[in-house]
């Protein structure tokens, strides 16, 4: 005997699925026009596109809608996924002895997602809100901006396969080990209270009776709840990153990184943290610094800190993580980056 869906009051899924498909098509159309849209906005301003201020404004006009669009899509998708899998089941699948495997899988996923650090944050929020273990989520957050096909391709073209493969190995190692260490510390209580509320909120248990309209509503509710809480932090973070992106002093950086002193590597990391760029944007700077005599390990440590520990990323993450958890994240990842810088300087001296 079959159950009549309409008889028990469930709406037909066809209109909801059609609306979701139309929404995805609109999202894709908007995302595809980000570059011409940002260029058009800058062209309306009375300033040269090649000027430092023009570079900063163009960066801001492009990154704000890009990150907000990514955040909306990912949070919606995770909201739908959560109707199929409970956070408790997800944690059980990836926790304990499988957590190391989860760290490896998350870091490898980061290789094929060429996001800058702020673009990876939407996925981080989605993973955390869906109950994926914190350490596994951090492995993705570190690997996504730092190790991807763009970075590896450019490093191979500019510096050869040995440097590219060594960078791949060290970058994955940092992502996996840093995530594993953070997971072992059991710091979930240091998430912001609203994130913990989402963990324990509605739609956390899989319900085989839910219809697609129910699942789509859950996705829309997740967008309203999460995007509504973090959008202004994203704009503030990207605004800070845009100003740094436009006004980074390359000559001063080269003079510091070219000195053969033990403190040049930590100095490069400290200098890189306030800056913001993706892998494709920072590698031309890396090439310029190397051409001016900077040490390879020092420059790569600088590059890693820019794309894995950027200040704008920290500003955005502040809405999700407590200051204590951000400090642990920076400390663990920063230690790994320092090790990479020193080892590269020894191996490629």
Within the chain, which residues score under 70 in pLDDT?
1-11, 82, 85-99, 112-122, 129-130, 148-151, 153-154, 158, 198-209, 237, 240-241, 244-245, 248-256, 258-260, 276-285, 287-288, 291-292, 349
What is the three-class DSSP state of 321?
strand
Reading the block at residue 145, the tokens are 């901006």
pTM for the model:
0.62
pLDDT tens sequence across 281-310:
666 667 667 766 778 888 888 888 887 787
At residue 25, the pLDDT reads 94
Give CA–CA dist 334/321, Å, rounded.
Answer: 17
Question: Which tokens sit at 105?
Answer: 């899988």
Nearest to 119 by CA among 146, 80, 152, 149: 146
- Longest CA pairwise span in the chain (Å): 80
> Mapping DSSP to helix (H, G, I), strand (E, B) and coil, where does residue 294 land?
coil
According to DSSP, residue 45 is labeled S
């Amino acid at each position: 005997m079959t159950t009549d869906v309409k008889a028990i009051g469930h709406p037909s899924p066809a209109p909801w699925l059609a609306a979701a498909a139309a929404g995805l098509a609109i999202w894709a159309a908007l995302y595809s026009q980000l570059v011409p849209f940002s260029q058009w906005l800058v062209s309306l301003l009375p300033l040269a596109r090649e000027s430092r201020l023009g570079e900063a404004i163009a960066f801001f006009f492009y990154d704000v809608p890009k990150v907000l669009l990514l955040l909306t899509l990912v949070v919606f998708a995770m909201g739908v996924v959560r109707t199929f899998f409970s956070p408790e089941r997800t944690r059980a699948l990836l926790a304990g002895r499988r957590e190391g495997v989860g760290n490896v899988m998350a870091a490898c996923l980061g290789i094929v997602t060429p996001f800058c650090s702020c673009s990876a944050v939407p996925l981080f929020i989605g993973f955390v809100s869906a109950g994926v273990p914190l350490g596994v989520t951090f492995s993705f957050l570190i690997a996504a901006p730092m190790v991807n096909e763009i970075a590896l391709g450019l490093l191979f073209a500019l510096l050869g396969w040995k440097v590219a493969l060594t960078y791949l190995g060290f970058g994955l190692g940092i992502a996996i080990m840093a995530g594993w260490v953070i997971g072992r510390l059991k710091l979930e209580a240091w998430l912001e209270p609203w994130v913990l509320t989402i963990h324990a909120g509605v739609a956390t248990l899989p319900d085989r009776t839910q219809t697609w309209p129910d699942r789509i509503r859950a996705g829309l509710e997740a967008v309203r709840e999460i995007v509504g809480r973090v959008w202004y932090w994203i704009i503030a973070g990207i605004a800070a990153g845009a100003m740094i992106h436009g006004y980074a002093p390359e000559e001063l950086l080269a003079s510091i990184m070219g000195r053969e002193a033990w403190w040049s590597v930590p100095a490069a990391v400290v200098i890189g943290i306030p800056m913001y760029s993706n892998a494709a944007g920072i590698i031309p700077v890396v090439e310029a610094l190397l051409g001016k005599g900077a040490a390879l390990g020092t420059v790569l440590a600088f590059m890693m800190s820019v794309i894995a520990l950027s200040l704008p990323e920290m500003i955005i993450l502040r809405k999700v993580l407590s200051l204590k958890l951000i400090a642990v994240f920076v400390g663990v990842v920063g230690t790994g980056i320092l090790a990479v810088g020193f080892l590269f300087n020894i191996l490629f001296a």
